[in-house]
Amino acid sequence: MSAASLGGRRIVVSAGPTYEDIDPVRFIGNRSSGKMGFAIAEAAARRGAQVVLVAGPVSLPTPSGLQRVDVRSARQMREAVIAQLPADVYIGAAAVADYAPAEIAPGKIKKKDERLTLALVRTPDILAEVAVHARRPTVVVGFAAETHDVEFYARGKLEKKKVDMIAANRVGVSGSGFESDDNALTVYWRDGERALGPAPKTALADELLDLILARWPA
Ligand code: C5P
């Protein structure tokens, strides 16, 4: 494992799920543990970067040597991430909800009819916004959690969201995934790709940072 220095670089990492409130006691969430993003933030800080970790609701301790900003919803995560620009690198490892309730009910929704329809609206796409921002980081990296046609969707995301790299979770590899300590990634950029792992998320974090460094030397 290489440990090339990231000294002097400012890196913003998002991690974990978002929770989109339905009423005062319910929300729409997902099973992201935040482990991958926390591992990346921790590795970057250990290698000397100035790291801001924007974390959704997770039960993980704060790695040493970095600044953590806790948020709950996609909207809050967007505000927190944009407020941290400019930066050298943005790594969007959070599993941001794509849809949120159109409105949050002020009181607990009571059961009544057999069928209840919730109106949902699109959340802001933080990654796409960062990638075209006036204070765009030099390197913008996104993640993709796909169950099929991984390369097709990952490369589509590179183009559509105008990002520099997409790290796609390789599905079907035992032990990899949202709640696991291990993962397997295929990282795509415009004219290349690299398979990483399966390996502990801590090791993958360093390998991903090495890939970023190799393509954008100081
Ligand atoms: O399009 P999809 O949701 O699969 O893209 C995943 C990537 O986009 C991840 O890097 C995630 O953090 C980011 N994303 C985002 N804001 C959203 C949805 C996804 O930043 N609303």
User: What number of other Cβ atoms are within 10 A of residue 57's Cβ?
Assistant: 16
Residue among 125, 185, 188 whose CB has most ligand 1 atoms within 8 A, to mutate = 125
* Distance from the alpha carbon of residue 112 to the mean position of ligand 1, in angstroms: 35
In the chain, what are the domain boundaries?
10-215
Tens of pLDDT, residue by residue over 52-108, are: 999 999 999 999 999 999 999 999 999 999 999 999 999 999 999 999 999 999 999
List the residue whose alpha carbon is closest to atom 17 of ligand 1: 125
Residue 71, ligand 1, Cβ within 6 A = no
pLDDT of res. 146: 85
pLDDT value of residue 170: 80
Q: Would you say residue 109 has pLDDT above 50?
A: yes
Mean pLDDT, residues 168-187 taken together: 80
Q: What is the pLDDT of residue 1?
A: 45
Q: Which fold has domain 10-215?
A: Rossmann fold (3.40.50)
Question: Angle, to 10 degrees, between the axis of helix 201-215 and the axis of helix 35-46?
Answer: 60
How do residues 2-42 score in pLDDT, each as one tens digit?
A: 578 999 999 999 999 999 999 999 999 999 999 999 999 99
Catalytic status, residue 30 = yes
Q: Model-level pTM greater than 0.75?
A: yes
Q: Which among 29, 30, 173, 181 is annotated as catalytic? A: 30
**DSSP 8-class letter at 63:** P
Cis peptide before 106 (omega within 30 of 0): no
